[in-house]
Amino acid sequence: MESVRGRRIVLGVSGGIAAYKSVEVCRRLVDAGAHVSTILTEDAHRFIGPVTLSALSSEPVHTSLWDDTSPIPHTRLGQNADLIVVAPATARVLAAYAMGLSHDLLIATLIATRAQVVVCPAMHTEMWEHPSVQDNVALLRSRGVIVVEPQSGRLAGGDVGTGRLADVDSILNAIDNALSGRTRDLEGLSVVVSAGGTREPIDAVRVLANRSSGKQGYAIAEQALARGAQVTLVTTVDRVTLPGITRVDVETAQQMFDAMTAQAEHADIVVMSAAVADFRPFVAAAGKIKKEGGVPEIVLEPTPDILAALGASKRKGQTLVGFAAETSNLVDNAKGKLARKNLDLIVANDVSAEGVGFSHDTNAVTILAADGSCRQVGLSSKHAIATEVLDSVVKVRSAP
């Protein structure tokens, strides 16, 4: 997150159980070199103490318009900020900000700034889906506010639904995008991403599969959405998909082939990050193969080569990104695949390395382009890798 180094960021924390995540957001921003000023609303005090944020941020926490060392704290904070982020942003904060109701230090600061603002809503599903909340979010978006959509999962009351605060990496990536000017650099473009590992049936119970978790593909889809793209995710994985992403569920290589070729037909950018089986059983048993029958002989046949098909049908102006999971000769193998399959970019990783590839939350990659350029990205979160991949896509598309 080089973009935050030396920047002044105001972190607003409002009254929701998700306020505990703001502690990690603050710590990560300070560690990355930002000067972080924190504002704690009165209701936020019920969930997190000011001592915690004062200890982690760059200056003592701010809590009121009236008991601050500055006579006009909202003006000072708002004018000096390079960016303001509110995490969590409750329904009340969204409404007050949309209305311009400056009843406390946080809202007054939001109104008194010309800096980019990022809001990260968090609330119960029924509240998030209420027309008044959706109208306020739409209004704020129309004014240029960046909204980091809440995610689905277990909520504070024990129920499950959309409304939980986005994970820390998603919030940090939105901040990084805003400060580096990537905020809407994929606006108006359609992006298709594949994710997960395919499963090829052996019988009614067993499958041939691989260890792919789909985390990298999901991170790329989420980043593309945050940067303004219209995103379709073709996935084999039962993971939560952010609102705004069109999801196509598949299981086998053939199903992924059919979905990807159909979706890619009108896409501007295609990212083939899924781990597709190279072989499948020639015949899958209709029922369960019983061990009493002895060790079965499974005859394999090749699966369709999705990436090669996408490369062969690539339209002028379309950008095609492939992935190469290798255990040896990383760059040479990736270069060969890049040329053979008519790709614009290939993202190669050594899945035998510690913390890299399947199932991990981190990755380390080498990004190779058709023009011969090569960029290495050290061990980072998969959201950070997604940012690097999409930055490379933007660079390719902007080249003369």
Structure-block tokens of residue 86: 């509110």
**Cα four-point dihedral sign 222, 243, 158, 166:** positive
Q: What does the DSSP 8-state code read for residue 87?
A: E
CA separation for the pair 21, 37 (Å, rounded): 16
CA separation for the pair 192, 215 (Å, rounded): 15
Q: Which residues are catalytic?
A: 210
| Close Cβ partners of 276 (under 8 Å, ≥ 6 residues apart) | 197, 198, 253, 256, 303, 306
CA separation for the pair 97, 118 (Å, rounded): 12
Burial of 187 (0-12, 13-18, 19+ CB in 10 A): exposed
The strand ranges marked E within 236-361 are: 245-249, 269-272, 279-281, 300-302, 319-326, 345-350
Longest Cα–Cα distance of the chain, Å, equals: 84
Identify whether the C-beta of residue 70 lies closer than 8 Å to the C-beta of residue 93. no
Burial of 120 (0-12, 13-18, 19+ CB in 10 A): buried
Structure-block tokens of residue 7: 């920047």
